[in-house]
């Protein structure tokens, strides 16, 4: 369940590594299907909508795998403390190895992937910018892996 939760945080929710590290249990609202990023890049805050399955999987992790519900952090490491960026990357690396995929995919690659996939499914560039928490539309274009031809048709 923890592995699925990690994938959801960094792919489905598009979190940055430091946002995952800072995520507290109070920031994830399962019933409302919202995740609050309270300390994003440049001290920006944003609200990330979660599909029903993402909210359900995160709730399952929280309710079933967290031994200490008193800890403020949403994601806990093996010793019960707040999960670090290195810990998140370790979970992803283990998944890649078990799946027989080459190493090297990072949490940041997951963020780029969701941007590209959302754009390809028809999400507007402005909504994508808000989802990712970017100040500048140009940054979002880089994240989304937009080709020159795609830019001409926007």
| Residues annotated catalytic, as ranges | 16, 41, 108, 111, 134, 143
Q: Which residues contact 136 (CB under 8 A, 6 or more apart)?
A: 129
Distance (Å, whole) CA 7 – CA 125: 23
Strand partners, 34: 29, 49
Q: How many CB atoms lie within 10 A of CB 18?
A: 12
Q: How many CB atoms lie within 10 A of CB 67?
A: 8
Nearest 10 degrees: CA dihedral of 40, 84, 24, 106?
50
């Amino acid at each position: 369940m923890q592995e699925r939760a990690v994938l959801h945080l960094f792919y489905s929710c598009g979190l940055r590594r430091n946002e995952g590290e800072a995520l507290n249990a109070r920031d994830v609202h399962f019933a409302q299907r919202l995740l609050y990023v309270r300390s994003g890049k440049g001290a920006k805050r944003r609200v990330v909508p979660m599909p029903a399955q993402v909210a359900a999987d995160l709730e399952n992790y929280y309710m079933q795998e967290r031994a200490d519900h008193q800890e403020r952090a949403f994601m806990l490491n093996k010793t019960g403390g707040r999960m670090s960026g290195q810990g998140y990357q370790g979970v992803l690396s283990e998944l890649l190895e078990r799946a027989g995929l080459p190493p090297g995919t990072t949490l940041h690659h997951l963020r780029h992937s969701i941007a590209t996939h959302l754009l390809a499914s028809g999400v507007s560039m402005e909504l994508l910018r808000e989802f990712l928490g970017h100040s500048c539309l140009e940054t979002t274009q880089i994240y989304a892996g937009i080709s020159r031809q795609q830019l001409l048709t926007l």
